[in-house]
């Protein structure tokens, strides 16, 4: 199959007035389409449910973005049944044909890019550039996994003994349940789903209840791309209502999950229990939370380090699993870096992200607002709040000002637990050794960074920094598909490395066939 080599989707240039105009037009168009209803889609059929999920704009919760179906066990059962039936034919479809559907989905998403950006602004609370980076990532996943399937379709080379042929290749696995978070509602949902599908599996796709409308838009793209009915079954619903059912059901062959540690561990536990008649051990691909640290030593470029701490801590209002929520500063540079971080964080503009000048939008929901507010209260007793105000009335939007706590004890709750909001804990370390020890001392292990010009320090961190993605002398967020395969150690997940060469095989069964001649 002739294809252009893989390249990351370029980001939009917002200094170009045409892009600004297109974005404004998309905001107006999508703005006029708010409030619509989206049913579940099972085997191509639109399915209404008794209840509904009402999705609101986090910048103004009185505005309804849309209403979606709210699946119960009845619809979950129908979706699993349909996916089981569809697996018979889809698993036999040629890998090239499956890949072409992803390539077409990428082209459609590219054509509908501004529309997706606008949904991200309204439902996800994303500033323009963040929305753009995320939709670009969604396109990248589609392009990348299509090429990965073509690379793997005939298996991989192995050795053989004389007189025999040995083949090692991959086969589709079965029905997958794809469960996604709200913080990257386009990219992660499209990424997890496309990998499962291109590998020849059929899926039940459950978006987050907070971003179900974007989930419906992602489902639309696959449908428009010509994916046969029943291969992707769109099942919006509350995790607490259908999650356990989907995970425990014996028809489920694997679960592809991205979300919190708590939910990930529950899924892992439930999936491990064999139910009667189940003929396999369910596979769980889980990407969970983080408490990611940036270590700055005394040789670092302090200006650049501080700028990257700010970018990594407050991008997406801190709602990235990769966000820098701890800055661990060598005692000799502590004051200087902290002053620069405060200056940078103060310059950020918090507000409603339909304005292009806004750099920090709201947090996603009332529950998230309460959680982050709670941690800010806790933080006041655990460190010194150097920046940030008490959160206001959530009815006026779920806004939390960028917050910095100084002199935080490494074992404090705000230094150990994932807050998932615009809150940074700054920790003082005696020396590099101490800094690395502190960085590694949480149950998580997703991303991490070191700013240093000291070769020994960098080499040591290369080996000893316990995180799946470690970055030197740069920010620690925004992993690029195909360039920075992403996934964590420890309680951050199964190290699945989305957007990397080991990702697709986790969605397939590897088979060895040997023939003696």
The SS3 of residue 434 is helix
C-beta of residue 515 within 8 angstroms of C-beta of residue 164: yes
* DSSP code for 473: S
Residue 247 or residue 372: which is nearer to ligand NAD going by CB? 247
Residue 208 or residue 401: which is nearer to ligand NAD going by CB? 208
In the complex, least distance from residue 61 CB atom to ligand NAD, rounded to whole angstroms: 17
Number of Cβ within a 10 Å radius of residue 262:
12
CA-closest candidate to residue 363, choices 398, 389, 390: 398
Q: Active-site residue 407, yes or no?
A: no
C-alpha Rg value of the chain to the nearest Å:
23
- Which segments within 317-417 are labelled E, that is strand? 324-330, 384-387, 403-406
In the complex, least distance from residue 490 CB atom to ligand NAD, rounded to whole angstroms: 11
**CB-hemisphere CA count at 13 Å for 137?**
25
In the complex, least distance from residue 366 CB atom to ligand NAD, rounded to whole angstroms: 13
Residue 101 or residue 323: which is nearer to ligand NAD going by CB? 323
Here the tokens at position 325 are 């929520």
CA dist 26 and 310 (Å) reads 30
Residue 285 or residue 329: which is nearer to ligand NAD going by CB? 285
- Ordered strands of the 52-57 beta sheet: 36-38, 60-69, 52-57
C-alpha distance from residue 77 to each of 213, 266, 301, 370, 375 (Å)? 22, 20, 56, 34, 39
Residue 336 or residue 417: which is nearer to ligand NAD going by CB? 417
Number of Cβ within a 10 Å radius of residue 434:
17
Residues that bind ligand NAD (CB under 6 A): 179-184, 188, 206, 208-209, 238-240, 243-244, 247, 258-260, 263, 266-267, 287-290, 321, 418, 420, 446, 488, 492-493
Residue 181 or residue 448: which is nearer to ligand NAD going by CB? 181
CA dist 267 and 254 (Å) reads 11
C-beta of residue 206 within 8 angstroms of C-beta of residue 156: no
DSSP secondary structure string, 61-93?
EEEEEEEEE---HHHHHHHHHHHHHHHHHHTTS
* DSSP code for 407: S
C-beta of residue 177 within 8 angstroms of C-beta of residue 204: yes
Phi-psi region of 134 (alpha: psi -120 to 50; beta: other; left: phi over 0): alpha
CA dist 346 and 348 (Å) reads 6
Residue 243 or residue 397: which is nearer to ligand NAD going by CB? 243
In the complex, least distance from residue 191 CB atom to ligand NAD, rounded to whole angstroms: 9
In the complex, least distance from residue 101 CB atom to ligand NAD, rounded to whole angstroms: 24
Helices (H), 366-484: 366-382, 413-416, 432-440, 455-464
* DSSP code for 242: I
Packing angle of the helix pair 113-124, 95-111 (nearest 10 deg): 70
In the complex, least distance from residue 264 CB atom to ligand NAD, rounded to whole angstroms: 7
In the complex, least distance from residue 192 CB atom to ligand NAD, rounded to whole angstroms: 10
Residue 169 or residue 238: which is nearer to ligand NAD going by CB? 238
Residue 142 or residue 446: which is nearer to ligand NAD going by CB? 446
In the complex, least distance from residue 447 CB atom to ligand NAD, rounded to whole angstroms: 9
In the complex, least distance from residue 198 CB atom to ligand NAD, rounded to whole angstroms: 19
Spot the catalytic one: 115, 130, 148, 321.
321
Spot the catalytic one: 115, 287, 382, 418.
287
Q: Active-site residue 287, yes or no?
A: yes
Max Cα distance, the chain (Å): 76
Active site positions, annotated? 287, 321
């Amino acid at each position: 199959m002739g294809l252009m080599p893989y390249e990351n989707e370029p980001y939009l240039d917002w200094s170009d007035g045409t892009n600004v105009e297109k974005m404004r037009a998309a905001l107006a168009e999508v703005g006029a389409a708010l409030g619509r209803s989206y049913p579940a889609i099972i085997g191509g059929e639109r399915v209404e449910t008794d209840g509904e999920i009402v999705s609101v704009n986090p910048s103004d919760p009185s505005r309804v973005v849309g209403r979606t179906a709210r699946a119960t066990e009845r619809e979950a059962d129908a979706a699993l049944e349909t996916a089981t039936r569809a697996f018979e034919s889809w698993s036999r479809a040629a890998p090239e044909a499956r890949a072409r559907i992803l390539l077409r989905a990428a082209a459609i998403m590219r054509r509908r890019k501004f529309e997706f950006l606008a949904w991200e602004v309204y439902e996800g609370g994303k500033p323009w550039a963040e929305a753009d980076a995320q939709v670009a990532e969604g396109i990248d996943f589609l392009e990348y996994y299509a090429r990965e399937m073509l690379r793997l379709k005939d298996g991989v080379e192995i050795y053989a003994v004389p007189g025999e042929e040995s083949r090692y290749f991959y086969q589709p696995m079965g029905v997958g349940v794809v469960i996604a978070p709200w913080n990257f509602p386009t990219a992660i949902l499209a990424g997890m789903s496309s990998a499962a599908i291109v590998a020849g599996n059929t899926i039940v796709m459950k978006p987050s209840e907070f971003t179900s409308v974007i989930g419906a838009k992602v489902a639309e793209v696959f449908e428009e791309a010509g994916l046969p009915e029943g291969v992707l079954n769109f099942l919006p619903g509350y995790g607490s209502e259908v999650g356990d059912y989907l995970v425990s059901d014996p028809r489920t062959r694997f679960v592809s999950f991205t979300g919190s540690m708590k939910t990930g561990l529950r899924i892992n536990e439930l999936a491990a229990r064999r139910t009667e008649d189940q003929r396999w051990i369910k596979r769980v691909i889980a990407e969970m939370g983080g408490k990611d640290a940036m270590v700055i030593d005394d040789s670092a470029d302090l200006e650049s380090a501080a700028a990257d701490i700010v970018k990594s801590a407050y991008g997406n209002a801190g709602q990235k699993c990769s966000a820098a929520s701890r800055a661990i500063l060598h005692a000799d540079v502590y004051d200087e870096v902290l002053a620069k971080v405060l200056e940078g964080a103060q310059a950020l503009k918090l507000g409603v992200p339909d304005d292009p000048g806004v750099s920090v939008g709201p947090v996603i929901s009332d529950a998230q607002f309460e959680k982050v507010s709670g941690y800010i209260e806790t933080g006041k007793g655990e460190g010194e709040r150097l920046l940030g105000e008490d959160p206001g009335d959530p009815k006026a939007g779920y806004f939390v000002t960028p917050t910095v706590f100084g002199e935080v004890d490494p074992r404090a709750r705000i230094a150990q637990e994932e807050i998932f909001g615009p809150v940074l804990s700054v920790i003082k370390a005696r020396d590099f050794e101490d800094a690395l020890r502190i960085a590694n001392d949480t149950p998580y292990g997703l991303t991490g960074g070191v700013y240093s010009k000291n070769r020994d320090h960098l080499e040591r961190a290369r080996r000893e920094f316990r995180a799946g993605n470690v970055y030197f002398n740069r920010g620690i967020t925004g992993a690029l598909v195909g360039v920075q395969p992403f996934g964590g150690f420890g309680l951050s997940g199964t190290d699945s490395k989305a957007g990397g060469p080991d990702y697709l095989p986790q969605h397939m069964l590897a088979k060895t066939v040997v023939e003696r001649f």
